[in-house]
Amino acid sequence: MTDAPSIDDVLAELVEEFDLLGDWEGRIEYVIDLGKGLAPLPEEDRTEDHKVPGCAAQVWLAVRREGDRLVFAADSDSALSKGNIALLLRLYSGRTPAEILAFDARAALDRLGLPSALTRQRANGLNSMVGRIRDAAAAA
């Protein structure tokens, strides 16, 4: 799995994709499309333990270990929240806890212009999702 692009390479790809989209409406549509590509979350992972607090919608985030890496699975009952978590999984899933903790998600999301395109409540939800991923990495 060492051939996988680094978290910074994935961010650079996302920045390029977002730049091509131009305005925030195009970016939001793109994020929603990312969510449509998310694998379905197994019913047994839709538990209170996996719910991300602080989100406007219901968001579930499950984590499992594969060797030294953390693999995340997620879903939401909101198209935009599902897109936001899909974007985060693209950055974080399959990484080591050290890679996750060393990555500045807030700066990355700012580079994508995402928080400014979201309502305050949605931006807070996005921060809660990042927090849950970082907590999982810190606990691993």
**Residues tagged active-site:** 55
**DSSP state, residue 137:** H
**DSSP state, residue 118:** S
Beta pairing partners, 66: 69
Residue of 25, 123, 129, 26 whose CA lies nearest to 76:
129
Whether 52 and 129 have beta carbons less than 8 Å apart is answered as yes
